[in-house]
Amino acid sequence: MDMEAYARFRFRRDGRVLTAAIAAPGPVNAIDGLLHAELARLFTDLQHDPDSDLVVLTGEGRAFSAGGDFAWFEEQVRDPRRFRAIAYEARRIVTSLLDLEKPLICRLNGSAAGLGATIALLCDVIIADERALIGDPHVKVGLVAGDGGALIWPQLIGFARAKELLLTGDLLTATEAARIGLINHAVPAGELDAKVAEVAAKILANPRWAVRWTKTVANQPLKALAAQMMDSSLAHELLSNMTADRAEAVSALREKRSARFTGE
């Protein structure tokens, strides 16, 4: 794996464990065009890496990834063709993550929102700092939760809870997320690395191909659902990017004021 080909990730090896840390500019690892493009090829490269049997996905700094970069949002509002152009990448992020045979542990070191939350929740085991927040506030910024949120949230916590959270855009604490089964574990910050290492060691103690192919079989329903949903999800998200309320939401965020939505 050519780690030097990535500008938005930092990599570290510990035996057969490979840690990939999101390292975007700014304090919250917001997803910009370059990070989005790198995410679309990351999981395929991880699959073909010969020196790892388990991957830990985490973030550098105080957040895992707090969703989209607002300067990037503004570009997409001004020119919807920019949004249209990333649809293939958006689909590949989800499908290549689900195609990855190696077990993938999310070390949720801090808050995850929007696409950041989707990526975290599509991992096999999610272990979080109990202080982290997680949610999908696409609707708050005028967008359909089309990049995978509508796919994975109902599978983890059921439709009633998932739809409430997707339609309100509310964030959960990691402790509450673990209580309702959205993530696996929420632990004190000082115990996060130990818990990740504990789970990784248990997985790696088992035969490689039994583990990989058990994951492959378990992911088949999610892959089928992604094939059924993602094109429509992304198309609806593209349409929502062209609404007046979307433009108003982005303007309000930039100007640090309350949005005035018109329903258009």
The 10s digit of each residue's pLDDT in 127-172 is 999 999 999 999 999 999 999 999 999 999 999 999 999 999 999 9
User: What residues does 228 pair with on adjacent strands?
Assistant: none
Which segments of the chain are extended strands (E)? Answer: 9-14, 17-22, 54-59, 63-65, 104-108, 111-113, 125-129, 133-135, 171-173, 185-187
How would you classify the pairing of strands 54-59 and 17-22?
parallel
Q: What is the pLDDT of residues 166-207, one digit of tens each?
A: 999 999 999 999 999 999 999 999 999 999 999 999 999 999
Residue 70 pLDDT > 90: no
**Residue 1 confidence (pLDDT) above 90:** no
Supply the DSSP symbol for 5: G
pLDDT tens per residue across span 12-44 = 999 999 999 999 999 999 999 999 999 999 999
Q: Which residues contact 65 (CB under 8 A, 6 or more apart)?
A: 22, 24, 28, 29, 30, 31, 59, 112, 113, 115, 116, 119, 120
- Structural domains in the chain, sorted by start: 3-208 (3.90.226.10)
Cα–Cα distance between 20 and 123 in angstroms, integer? 13
Nearest Cα to Cα of residue 147 among 42, 63, 39, 243: 39
Average pLDDT over residues 110-126: 98
User: By the 8 A CB rule, do 212 and 101 touch?
Assistant: yes
What is the residue whose two structure tokens read 């690892």?
Answer: 29
